[in-house]
Amino acid sequence: MLSLATRKGVRIDTIQPVFEINSPSMFGLEQDITRNYQAIKVSIFFKAVTAQELIAFDSKVKSWLDNNITPYSYEGGVGPDILFAKLGERNARSMFFSLGLALVVIALIIGGLLRSWSATLIGLICNLLPVVTVFALWSLIGGYISLGSAMVMGMIMGIIVDDTLHMLLKYPRTLNATVTSSVLTLYEKVCPAILITSVTLAAGLFIGIFSGFRPIYELSLLSLSIILVAMLADLFLLPALLHVMKFKRA
């Protein structure tokens, strides 16, 4: 409406008397025009788009209006979709930074508890790999970081760190034993507990996949995926790293 009026040489102030005589409510525009006739709200409806696409479109609109309709200013999108898109993007950035920092600190704590730099490296790899793997696959299949998926990183970190720490702390202290025999002993002590807890948590989150509310669907799918990948990393990758690094508990 704004661009059409400008193109035909009609300014908003020339039709303002019409609106003053006939109130916006008479035209059904009380939700779209301010009382002082200084601002107009334009509603645009999209099919399903990602948060990044919505934010990019909003930036394009602002740039075009600023360059082509100089007497007026564009205040930016105010609908719930654009607000949640910006909130999700900001939340995702802060979550990624916080998660990376937390994993590094936790790995250093693990190394300090076991007095071993090998333990620090093993803890960092086994805790970081599940998150990176799942979110990389999520991106490849067309998923994007939304408010629901960003919450996964902070929620799931404690679970994946707990299993890795449990495996390393239960590693036998026997100095004369080989790494292979120590790993087999570790499997007997720890594997049943990790299997039961991981499968139980994944089964509980599996129900959320059938939710029609997309944030719940994303949170459930990504959470159970990370739990299962973390379980596989702890049961197969962690013992392999122990063997390659010839890890011995002090």
Residues 156 and 37 in one domain: no
Q: Return d(Cα 42, Cα 11) in angstroms, integer.
A: 17
**pLDDT for residue 34:** 64
Residues 115 and 233 in one domain: yes
How far, CA to CA in Å, does 230 sit from each of 22, 25, 203, 222, 227?
Answer: 66, 59, 15, 12, 5
Series of mean pLDDT values for 10-residue runs along the chain (250 residues): 44 58 55 64 71 77 76 68 72 77 86 86 90 87 71 78 86 70 82 90 91 84 92 90 77
Residues 137 and 24 in one domain: no
Task: State the Cα torsion 108-114-116-118 to the nearest 10°.
Answer: -80
Residues 111 and 234 in one domain: yes
DSSP 152-187: HHHHHHHHHHHHHHHHHHTS---SSS-HHHHHHHHH
Per-residue H/E/C for 69-98: CCCCCCCCCCCHHHHHHHHHHHHHHHHHHH
Q: Return d(Cα 125, Cα 153) in angstroms, integer.
A: 16
Q: Return d(Cα 29, Cα 23) in angstroms, integer.
A: 9
Asked if residue 58 is part of any domain, the answer here is no
Asked if residue 79 is part of any domain, the answer here is no
**Phi, psi (deg, nearest 5) at residue 33:** -130, 135
Give the CATH number, domain containing residue 187.
1.20.1640.10
**pLDDT for residue 82:** 74
Residues 3 and 127 in one domain: no
Asked if residue 151 is part of any domain, the answer here is yes
Residue 232 structural domain: 101-244
**Phi, psi (deg, nearest 5) at residue 40:** -125, 135
> How many domains is the chain partitioned into structurally?
2
- Does the global pTM surpass 0.75? no
